[in-house]
């Protein structure tokens, strides 16, 4: 019989001790106990009430439905495998609860690891005169049922770096990835972080890390940052409360004027590469453009204009 103690489910045993049936039952129930522990621990740290309550509700359903129910199957998807890995491409995965996916807690943990890595590189301490700078940009991705979005991920990232006493510029609004890479070099920043999943499906998100040269990180830096993330999994403060306070005070956390200045500098650099004469004449050439799930169209359109490329840039209205 199945025994219940409080909210914790004890291993299910059958009386045929020594048989294959008993071994399988014990293994399955031990798996469920591990899933429950992992899910409860994760939900207790999650700053997002929607994803935390979703996991709590799954645990309740798992108790009622038993091992063959849909709740247990979902718990296995969310918690029954290795943690989302950090590599040269940063993080990338579906937006949903759990340590295997992109969500508020995973982003906080990643930002804490990167902040710790930067501070260690600076000797463990930073002073107001020598503070490192990190630039953060984001796209428009969101998954409403879980309250997850690139905007929230970017805001949490800024809160983490503020907490670590590292200067952090959050670019205002939506920006294309090349703007973030350019800003990292333009400002002489230590690092840049872009919240986007490029061409991935719309319910995915990602966390790309650029270093001071404006390029994505390379080995062995990715492994060193991954190690720092694993050493900083517990949130340093109540980031959910900090974000709620900022939103209640109307603080968007982004810097509009500095973002505009960086974008203008970017397009000036594009214009400086121009090889066509000012009066390039007309052309029958037509260019089709898709940003897929990205936000690049306005930047591509202006880059075409600045570079003097004749001919229309065509895009599906919904992809602009």
Active-site annotation, residues: 198
Q: What is the DSSP string of 17-63?
A: TTSHHHHHHHHHHHHHHHHHHHHHHHHHH-S-HHHHHHHHHHHHHHH
Calculate ∠ Cα 84-89-93, nearest 5°: 40
Contacts of 247 (CB under 8 A, 6+ apart): none
Is residue 147 helix, strand or coil? coil
**Nearest residue to 79 (alpha-carbon basis) of 35, 118, 136, 135:** 35
Sign, Cα dihedral of 43, 47, 53, 55 = negative
- Within 10 angstroms of residue 28's Cβ, the number of other Cβ atoms is 14
Decide if 298 contacts 273 (C-beta within 8 A): no
**Nearest residue to 107 (alpha-carbon basis) of 178, 205, 40, 219:** 205
């Amino acid at each position: 019989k199945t025994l219940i103690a409080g909210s914790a489910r004890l291993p299910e045993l059958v009386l045929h001790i020594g048989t294959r049936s008993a071994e399988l039952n014990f293994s399955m129930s031990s798996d469920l106990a591990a899933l429950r522990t992992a899910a409860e621990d994760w939900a207790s740290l999650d700053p997002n009430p929607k994803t935390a309550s979703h996991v709590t509700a799954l645990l309740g359903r798992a108790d009622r439905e038993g091992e063959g129910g849909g709740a247990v199957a979902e718990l296995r998807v969310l918690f029954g495998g290795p943690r989302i890995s950090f590599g040269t491409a940063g993080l990338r995965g579906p937006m949903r609860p759990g340590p295997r996916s992109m969500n508020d807690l995973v982003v906080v943990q990643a930002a804490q690891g990167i902040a710790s890595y930067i501070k260690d590189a600076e000797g463990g301490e930073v002073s107001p005169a020598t503070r490192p700078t990190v630039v953060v940009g984001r796209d428009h991705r969101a998954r409403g049922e879980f309250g997850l979005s690139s905007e929230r991920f970017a805001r949490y990232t800024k809160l983490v770096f503020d907490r670590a006493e590292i200067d952090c510029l959050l670019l205002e609004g939506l920006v294309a990835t090349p703007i973030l890479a350019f800003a990292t070099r333009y400002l002489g920043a230590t690092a840049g972080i872009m919240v986007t999943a490029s061409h991935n499906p719309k319910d995915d998100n990602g966390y790309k890390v650029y270093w001071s040269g404006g390029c994505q990180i390379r080995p062995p830096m990715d492994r060193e940052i991954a190690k720092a993330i694993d050493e900083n999994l517990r949130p340093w403060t109540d980031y959910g409360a900090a974000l709620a306070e900022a939103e209640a005070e109307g603080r968007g956390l982004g810097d509009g004027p500095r973002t505009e200045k960086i974008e203008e500098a970017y397009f000036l650099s594009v214009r400086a590469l121009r090889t066509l004469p000012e009066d390039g004449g007309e052309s029958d050439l037509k260019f089709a453009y898709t940003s897929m799930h990205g936000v690049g169209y306005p930047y591509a359109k202006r880059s075409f204009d600045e570079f003097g490329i004749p001919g229309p840039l065509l895009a599906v209205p919904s992809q602009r």
